[in-house]
Amino acid sequence: MADDHPPLQNPQKLPLKYRLLLRLRSFVSHKALRPNMTVNRSLISLFESKVSSSSTPRDGVFTCDTVIDPSRNLWFRLFVPSSTPHDLPIPLLVYFHGGGFVFFSPDSLPFDILCRKLARELQAVVVSVNYRLSPEHRYPSQYEDGFDALKFIDDLDSSAFPEKSDFSRCFIAGDSAGGNIAHHVIVRSSDYKFKKVKIRGLIAIQPFFGGEERTESEIRFGETPTLNLERADWYWKAFLPDGANRNHVAAHVFGEKGVKISGVKLPATLVIVGGSDQLRDWDRKYYEWLKKGGKEVEMVEYANAIHGFYAIPELPETSLLIEEAKNFIGRIGSSVNDELK
Q: Could you confirm whether 307 is annotated as catalytic?
A: yes
- Calpha distance 208→182 (Å, rounded): 10
Residue 66 contacts residue 128 (beta carbons within 8 Å) = no
Q: Could you confirm whether 277 is annotated as catalytic?
A: yes
Q: Which of 105, 108, 141, 176 is catalytic?
A: 176
Considering Cα of 330, then 331, then 332, then 333, what sign does the dihedral take?
A: positive
Q: Could you confirm whether 45 is annotated as catalytic?
A: no
Q: Which of 145, 277, 281, 283 is catalytic?
A: 277
Full strand arrangement of the beta sheet holding 297-302: 61-69, 74-81, 125-130, 90-96, 165-175, 199-205, 268-274, 297-302
Residue 177: C-alpha distances to residues 125, 188, 331 (Å): 22, 17, 26
The set of residues, in sequence order, having a beta carbon less than 8 Å from that of 58 and lying 6+ positions away, is 116
Q: At what angle do helices 109-122 and 316-340 cross, to 10 degrees?
A: 50
| Beta strand extents in the chain (DSSP E only) | 61-69, 74-81, 90-96, 125-130, 165-175, 199-205, 268-274, 297-302
Residue 63 contacts residue 98 (beta carbons within 8 Å) = no
Q: Which of 183, 184, 252, 307 is catalytic?
A: 307
- Calpha distance 235→100 (Å, rounded): 6
Question: Which residue numbers are catalytic?
Answer: 176, 277, 307
